[in-house]
Amino acid sequence: MMSTRLITMLAVMCPIVLFLIAVIILAYWFLIGSKLPPNVQKLKERRNIPGLIKALDYLNLNRDFWNVRSAAVRALGEFSTQLESTELRSRAVEALIVTLRGETKGIHGEQISSDLSAVSVSGNKVSGAAFFAFHGRLLQVRKLAAETLGQVGVDTQDAAVRTRIVEALIQALSTTEGSLEDLRRIAAKSLSAITGQDFGMDAKQWATWWQEY
């Protein structure tokens, strides 16, 4: 039988060991785990809409953040027509619309200098070349969102969702930035697929027709 002294020692040591294990786990999470990309496939399998929406904001310049965001866009696009909950469908579509607009957390445009030497992305200063590469990746995700919203608009039976998508795509056509011409082209194609109309990339014609319709 174990001596009383040994039992006392184990009783004292166990809480200390458990505490140290907890500290190690927490340290791992804050230093490494919290920076790992979200597992979109698992989120999709669990039908975790809030988790997928959060994945749209994943931003780590040292990892392929655009692949995480693209996978989340596709998953939310699928759920936008499958979910029975009107609230969840609306949340999924609104998240896709935010992505279409390019509203990304962690990017501070007011900190961008004229020579692109002081670009701040997610709190980190990056070079002009790195920023342009980042912008290109972000644009890929935005174009995918425009395409996905078009497919949702065609497939959905929810008139409110379809209306919201059409209005968001018309708004996307209003941008005058030359670098977004491909985005506008995809938005116009999505609008045509949803409505059966074809006004090209003319935002005014689309808006006029939509108001009359």
* Segment 15-27, tens digit of pLDDT: 777 777 766 666 5
- Per-residue pLDDT averaged across 193-207, rounded? 94
Structure pTM? 0.76
Sign of the torsion angle spanned by Cα atoms 74, 92, 193, 201: negative
Taking alpha carbons only, the member of 148, 155, 42, 174 closest to residue 95 is 148
Sign of the torsion angle spanned by Cα atoms 34, 40, 45, 46: positive
Q: C-alpha angle with apex 180: 100 to 56, nearest 5 degrees?
A: 25
Rounded to whole angstroms, the Cα distance separating 194 from 190 reads: 6
Which residue has 């579509």 as its token pair? 93
- 44: exposed, middle or buried (C-beta count within 10 Å: 0-12, 13-18, 19+)? buried
The residue extents of the domains of the chain are 1-36, 37-212
Q: How confident is the model at residue 33 (pLDDT cuts 50, 70, 90)?
A: very low
Mean pLDDT value across the chain: 81
